[in-house]
Amino acid sequence: MKKKDVILGVYIIVIALLLMIVMKFHNNSKGDEIRIKVNGRTYGTYSLDKNQEIDIDTEFGHNTVCIEDGEAYMKEADCPDGYCKHQGHISKGNQTIVCLPHKLVVEIKINENQETNNDLIPDAVAK
């Protein structure tokens, strides 16, 4: 390895660490509710203030989302891999739990008066 290779490697690591820090602290606002989507369609919206279990039975399978103490997590899933049960507790803006076999997404939403309306910002401009 040459000296320039080492410098490039260190530079890439420093940039990656800075990006990770910015992403971690960029949106750490506590969420107000969860939105559950199945196959891209909204299944329901639930407050994080109320402890509850939500049973989701669809043609893709069964899941149980649990809300406790302002956090949501996947309590049960009959999918073959079970990865969604190991994604942990979510409570902050833009965090998600995804169950790919069941086409299910649980996402944290922040009260609209606290977040910017990203729907009005264009993704791209075409001529």
pTM (predicted TM-score) = 0.67
Confidence band of 115 (pLDDT split at 50, 70, 90): very low
pLDDT digits (tens, 9 = 90+) for 58-110: 999 999 999 999 999 999 999 998 899 999 999 888 789 999 999 999 999 88
pLDDT of 123 reads: 61
Count Cα atoms within 13 angstroms, Cβ side, for 62: 5
Whether residue 105 sits in one domain with residue 46: yes
Is 11 within the bounds of a domain?
A: yes
Region of 81 please: left (phi>0), alpha (psi -120 to 50) or beta: alpha
Using alpha carbons, select from 98, 77, 90, 104 the residue that is nearest to residue 33. 90
What is the C-alpha separation between 107 and 109, in angstroms, rounded? 6
Domain housing 24: 1-28
Whether residue 14 sits in one domain with residue 76: no
